[in-house]
Amino acid sequence: MSNLEIQQYVVGPVATNCYFLVNNKTKECIIVDPGASGLQLVKRIEEQSLKPVAVLLTHGHFDHAGDAGYIADHYKVSIYASELEKETLGQPEINLSASMGGLGEVYRADVFLKDCEEITLADFRIRVLSTPGHTPGGCCYYLVDEMVLMSGDSLFSGSVGRTDFPGGSMSELIRSLREKVMVLPPSVKVFPGHDDMTTIEQETYYNPYF
């Protein structure tokens, strides 16, 4: 029986899904895409006496990466992202923070991951699946033993991510999803960056892009 509990919090101005991946046995947790609601999320963590061990970014857009640094610094943990997302994180015009007014923001990651690299956090084995297209370094995180995918803005229920932002490519996104994600077992549960969860089976049958 899995120790994984997934908590979903909708954060920020564009209703981004932030997820806590909680190990119920140890109370360790991984924060996925904290967006711009750091204070809210810290309150949830403290209320449950959780022990953050890492922040995972599926990509570098402001609505996903906004308060990653705040969370990481508060709990003295590292931020993980794809090695292909350095430019997105570091350029306000690409991470879209410049479009929110002001000068924009620069975000960071402390650990850059390669495609298909496996890491273990909170006793969960996590495989990084590079899915460029929404951004050049967009990725999904696959919890191998729990058969859970954190898909960010690459794959949605019945749709895929937008590709009209800087660095986007629809052909690249569809190809990467076909090669890396849609080949996963049908029963894998998919938790996207916006809207509702789905499964690989459901997307295989009903997603018009596949």
pTM of the entire predicted model: 0.96
- Residue percentage of the chain with pLDDT more than 70: 99
pLDDT in tens, 24-38: 999 999 999 999 889
pLDDT in tens, 132-176: 999 999 999 999 999 999 999 999 999 999 999 999 999 999 999
Give how many domains the chain has, as a whole number: 1
* Domain containing residue 32: 4-206
The DSSP line for the chain is: ---EEEEEEEETTTTEEEEEEEETTT-EEEEE--TT-HHHHHHHHHHTT-EEEEEE-S---HHHHTTHHHHHHHHT-EEEEEGGGHHHHH-HHHHSGGGGSTT------SEEE-TT-EEEETTEEEEEEE-TTSSTT-EEEEETTTTEEEEETTEETTEE----STT--HHHHHHHIIIIITTS-TT-EEEESSS--EEHHHHHHH-TT-
CATH code assigned at 92: 3.60.15.10
